[in-house]
Amino acid sequence: MADYNTMRTAAGSRTAAIDAGLRAHMNKVYGTMSVGMLLTFAVAWAVGTSPQLLSVFRDPATLQPNILGWIVMFAPLIMVFAFGAMINRLSAAGAQTFFYVFAAVMGLSLSWIFVAFTGFSIAQVFLVTAISFAGLSLWGYTTKKDISAWGSFLIMGVIGLVVASIINIFLGSPALQFAITLIGVLIFAGLTAYDTQKIKTTYIEHARHADSEWLGKAAIMGALNLYMDFINLFMFLLQLLGNRE
């Protein structure tokens, strides 16, 4: 009986330690993501409200990107793939630095919104996005339902969105753009809940092995995933709800 009670106490202590570690892990994920968001919007605002800086990347009148603008537009996508390939060779500090550089480059790619949309509508849509994101992420964290099966479907949806968006660059179809926007909102709403649950379950799996170095990098990767969910959700909602200049 004494051995049983000792084992039960030890198991309870491990569970409590994992719960405390999970809270600290999620705080780091959300904290890193929030700093990245602030950096992105600071860079976007600084460039987007300066005709001289914006003209380096786009025509200030038509907002059509020049060569450098096209590079900046696709650079975040390339950096995401590079980050996934490099994560095992980076330290936790290196991964965090990479993430902040990525967030700054993303700010350059989004700077045009401060010319295309009114400042009030950008703030309004940002608030709507923040509330929606918080609710979806909270549901993903607290739900007892296993939504891991959503992953393949949602990733296929993202690939479809990218392909359709590239095609529509040449077609210029308003109907296709509207469909892409609606589907994009649904996909990234789902990804917000899915990625939050995945961050939680991944932490619990690795915390049992005390893999602290990996968990440090996993927090940055989790922050990147949720950051991308927020940014894409914001941009699709801005297309739907934003008031153009």
> Would you place residue 209 in the very low, low, confident or very high pLDDT band (cuts 50, 70, 90)?
low
The amino acid occupying position 98 is F
Check: CB of residue 147 under 8 Å from CB of residue 197: yes
* Torsion 168-169-174-178 (CA) sign: positive
Q: What is the pLDDT of residues 175-201, one digit of tens each?
A: 888 999 999 999 999 999 999 999 998
What's the pLDDT score for residue 3? Answer: 54
> Would you place residue 18 in the very low, low, confident or very high pLDDT band (cuts 50, 70, 90)?
low
Average pLDDT along the chain: 86
> How many domains, the chain?
1
Q: Which residues contact 48 (CB under 8 A, 6 or more apart)?
A: 54, 110, 111, 112, 113, 114, 115
What's the pLDDT score for residue 88? Answer: 77
What's the pLDDT score for residue 196? Answer: 95
The DSSP-derived string for 123-186 is: HHHHHHHHHHHHHHHHHHHH--S--TTHHHHHHHHHHHHHHHHHHHHHH--HHHHHHHHHHHHH
In which domain, by residue range, is 18 found? 2-241
C-alpha to C-alpha distances, 22 to 6, 29, 37, 235, nearest whole angstrom: 24, 10, 22, 30
Q: Which residues contact 167 (CB under 8 A, 6 or more apart)?
A: 176
Q: What is the pLDDT of residues 151-179, one digit of tens each?
A: 889 999 999 998 998 888 888 888 888 99
Look at phi and psi of residue 63 and say left if phi exceeds 0, alpha if psi is from -120 to 50, else beta: left
> Would you place residue 4 in the very low, low, confident or very high pLDDT band (cuts 50, 70, 90)?
very low
What's the pLDDT score for residue 212? Answer: 64
Residue 17 has pLDDT above 80, yes or no: no
Residues in the chain: 245
Compute the average pLDDT of residues 52-78.
86
C-alpha to C-alpha distances, 224 to 94, 102, 152, nearest whole angstrom: 14, 9, 19
Of 141, 144, 142, 128, give the one whose Cα is nearest residue 195. Answer: 141
